[in-house]
Amino acid sequence: MSTFRRLPFIFLSLAALARAQSSTPSAPAAPSSATAPAEEIHHLDSFVVSAGLDGKTAFDLAQGTSILAGDELRRRTAATLGATLAATPGLSETSFGPGASRPIIRGLGGDRVRMLDNGVGSLDASNVSPDHNVAVEPLLVERIEVLRGPATLLYGSSAVGGVVNIIDNRIPSAAPVNPLTGRTELRFDSAAHQRTGIIALTGGDKTFALQVNGLRTETDDVAIPGYADPANPVNRGTLTNSAISTKSGSVGGTTFWSGGNLGLAVSEYATIYGVPVGEPIAIDMRQRRADLRADLTNPFGPFKSAKLRFGLADYTHAEVDPTTGKPNTTFKNKAYEGRVELAQQDLGALTGTVGLQTSRSDFSAVGAEVVTPPTLTVSHALFALESYKLSPELSLQFGGRYEFQSIKLGAVDPALPAYPGYAARSGQKRTDHGLSFSAGTVYYPAKDYSVGFSVAYSQRLPVAQETFSNGPHGGTGAYEIGTSGLGKETSVGLELTLRKRAGFVTGSASAFVNRFDNFVFEQRDPTRYFDDPTGAFLPYPIPPAGDFLPIYQFIAKNALFYGAEAEVQFHLIDRDDQRLHVSLLGDTVRAEQTTDHVPLPRIPRIPPARLGVGLGYEQGRWSLGTEARYAFAQTRFTAEETETAGYTLVGAHATYRVPAFLNPRLGLELFIRAENLTNATARLSTSFLKDTAPLAGRNLTFGARLTF
């Protein structure tokens, strides 16, 4: 990581300033006048750290927000981040086999959903291709925050679809109460014979905390109902080349004082997973990362507090031929990202946050199947997000962002057949500027009700793979071609959200519409294919014995996305010693190309409408639940796709907290979770591999979790 020795001066200066503050901390902000008693509030009172506005909860935001934490997060945690969030209304997954899955928000994925690791980018290559997993271990995550809809003001043009912020304890955020605490966990499952061990230890005192985390996971090929590919009936009941092996570890420390804290962590995430495509490929991924976090809680100048987040990563990803054990192609990304957020002193009813963000990504690929040439991407941005309280019943939220991005094409080996003419373009640079604005209002019509409405104008700047790709990609089984003339992708989004947070019925419902100009996506070329043995582009039809790759090219069309989602809970019993609730959820999204406001062909790989129902019960040491989720058939598809059948997934879970006989600090939980109890065949319309890689069949996960 020697490339990144020169860190931006502003971040080092802020870190030094943070450590120098030592006066008495300011009093906490007064609660909102709309706040209900804590014992009456359900799920919507958690502060959303990803939202940027000081002291805002999910109940007080103009846009749709989901928080996954605590028992619910532990129940839903899966091998990948996409699978962990897939049951959340408005979210789905790419599912490139069990080892690789990225979240999709309201039909938007890839570089339109910003993946954050404790507030800064994940610094991997998961946005480049659906077979690249996010470099995050879900089983070590403590909280996941999802901002639906454009979040470009705070996090950049790649957040036009939304933000997923993964929050863990690599850097301790609070001083420990006891000198040593921790947890250890063992879990197993039946579908893939998963074997997982976790340990997390926290030590320290009031002025310093040390955190050590470790995880090891091994799985076999996952069990599925029937054949993976009915057109090629082999290996019934098993998805070949879907095993996973993962190691993850971190060490972090934080020093605390009366005016703030300063923390640092180093971590490593390493995984090897199979990609079940026609020619088996194994992905060998490794990321080494360092993170810095500083918080000032004392006022200084015009600001009442400040946050600094900085991440530095060295990422490597090799696509390995399992038969030879040698990599076909190796991707590397040496990257950093940092951001400073400054919370303004209140000016009457006006509060807000201003900030600066900067990032650098040095991306390269070497091997026989180089898809994207070496590129150096640098971006800088200034942003502001403000809130003005007109009355106890009505507040406004508004802001803007300016972003600069440059992409410089690196040196390309002229011997690579995929890049004829690229050597002459080495060193060329593309520069873009983007502006984004948003405005919203939150209205409190009655106690425990809020109505949010927002409008956002966003500009997404083209990324390297969309403009410079040109080569065969073994991981996706396609020949991918970029388009250098792509312009800015602009969008206007509207959203209306209703929330209720207390009483017999709680929950939220949202409706949205998002219109894009120059919406960029990959479209299959219907006239030709790539003949791998000869390296030639040939017209269809394909010879019976041909070894070919379909050709996908990045193109831009106008598009319209619209839909709705809802999640409602009925609290049949809600006492301290006993709880019983019924949950209902549903979501739908439609996406179409448009010209002169007239719908044309659809956008590929859009999730279907879904409905779900769940029942949860808690009493004493027991927690029980069951749920069923139905996905409708996806009959709205493009010419390159086929219809995707509907399916129903039925699950159940149970947790028992064992009494602590020896030490009251010891807590032992025994848990079991059942998924796809009916062993249904489920194929995702959002997956490139839907016809050859269904979701897992019936699966039982069980284990034990010890806290001390």
User: DSSP per residue over 380-428, as a string?
Assistant: EEEEEEEEEEEETTEEEEEEEEEEEEEEEE----TT-TT-TTTGGGTT-
For residue range 387-397, what is the model confidence (pLDDT) as tens digits?
999 999 999 99
Indicate the pLDDT class of residue 26, thresholds 50, 70 and 90: very low
CA distances from 155 to 79, 369, 521, 692 (A): 26, 32, 21, 35
- Mean pLDDT of the 44-48 span: 79
Other residues' Cβ atoms within 10 Å of the Cβ of residue 605: 26
Report the mean per-residue pLDDT for the chain. 89
Q: Which of 3-7, 36-40, 640-644 ranks highest by mean pLDDT? A: 640-644
Q: What is the pLDDT of residue 368?
A: 73
- Mean pLDDT of the 396-425 span: 75
Q: Which residue has the higher pLDDT, 696 or 596?
A: 696
What does the domain layout of the chain look like in residue ranges? 43-707
State what percent of residues in the chain have pLDDT above 90. Answer: 70
Indicate the pLDDT class of residue 412, thresholds 50, 70 and 90: low
For residue range 517-544, what is the model confidence (pLDDT) as tens digits?
999 999 889 899 998 778 888 998 887 7
Residue 25 DSSP label = P
For residue range 164-177, what is the model confidence (pLDDT) as tens digits?
999 999 999 999 99
Indicate the pLDDT class of residue 449, thresholds 50, 70 and 90: very high
Does a cis peptide bond (omega within 30 degrees of 0) precede residue 539?
Answer: no
CA distances from 451 to 26, 488, 509, 564, 669 (A): 31, 32, 10, 15, 39
Third-level CATH fold of 43-707: Maltoporin; Chain A (2.40.170)
In this structure, what token pair is assigned to residue 678? 């009916």
Q: What is the pLDDT of residue 417?
A: 54
Q: Which residue has the higher pLDDT, 243 or 596?
A: 243
Q: What is the pLDDT of residue 37?
A: 41
- pLDDT reading at 40 higher than 80: no
Q: Return the minimum-mean-pLDDT range out of 23-32, 457-466, 664-673.
A: 23-32
For residue range 487-525, what is the model confidence (pLDDT) as tens digits?
999 999 999 999 999 999 999 999 999 999 999 999 889
Residue 237 CA from chain centroid, whole number: 30
Q: What is the pLDDT of residue 595?
A: 81
Residue whose structure tokens are 């495509």: 277
Q: Which residue has the higher pLDDT, 595 or 119?
A: 119
What is the DSSP track for 331-372?
EEEEEEEEEEEEEEPPBTTEEEEEEEEEEEEEEEEEETT--S
- pLDDT reading at 367 higher than 90: no
- pLDDT reading at 275 higher than 50: yes
Interatomic CA distance for residues 247 and 216, integer angstroms: 5
- pLDDT reading at 12 higher than 50: no
Interatomic CA distance for residues 364 and 377, integer angstroms: 11
Q: What is the pLDDT of residue 426?
A: 65
Q: What is the pLDDT of residue 151?
A: 80
Indicate the pLDDT class of residue 232, thresholds 50, 70 and 90: confident
* Nearest residue to 186 via CA among 197, 170, 172: 197
Indicate the pLDDT class of residue 477, thresholds 50, 70 and 90: confident
Q: What is the pLDDT of residue 700?
A: 98
Q: What is the pLDDT of residue 29?
A: 36
Q: Which residue has the higher pLDDT, 12 or 607?
A: 607
Q: Return the minimum-mean-pLDDT range out of 159-163, 345-349, 411-415.
A: 411-415
Interatomic CA distance for residues 494 and 502, integer angstroms: 27
Q: What is the pLDDT of residue 43?
A: 58
- Mean pLDDT of the 280-290 span: 94
Q: What is the pLDDT of residue 601?
A: 87
- pLDDT reading at 28 higher than 90: no
Q: What is the pLDDT of residue 24?
A: 34
- In a 10 Å sphere around its CB, with 0-12 CB exposed, 13-18 middle and 19+ buried, how is residue 622 labelled? exposed
Q: What is the pLDDT of residue 415?
A: 58
Indicate the pLDDT class of residue 41, thresholds 50, 70 and 90: low
Backbone angles phi, psi at 591, to 5 degrees: -145, 130
For residue range 549-581, what is the model confidence (pLDDT) as tens digits?
899 999 999 999 999 999 999 999 999 899 999
For residue range 651-700, what is the model confidence (pLDDT) as tens digits?
999 999 999 877 778 899 999 999 999 999 999 999 989 999 999 999 99
- pLDDT reading at 446 higher than 60: yes
- pLDDT reading at 422 higher than 80: no
Q: Are 537 and 511 in contact (CB under 8 A)?
A: no
Q: What is the pLDDT of residue 13?
A: 37
Q: Which residue has the higher pLDDT, 641 or 473?
A: 641
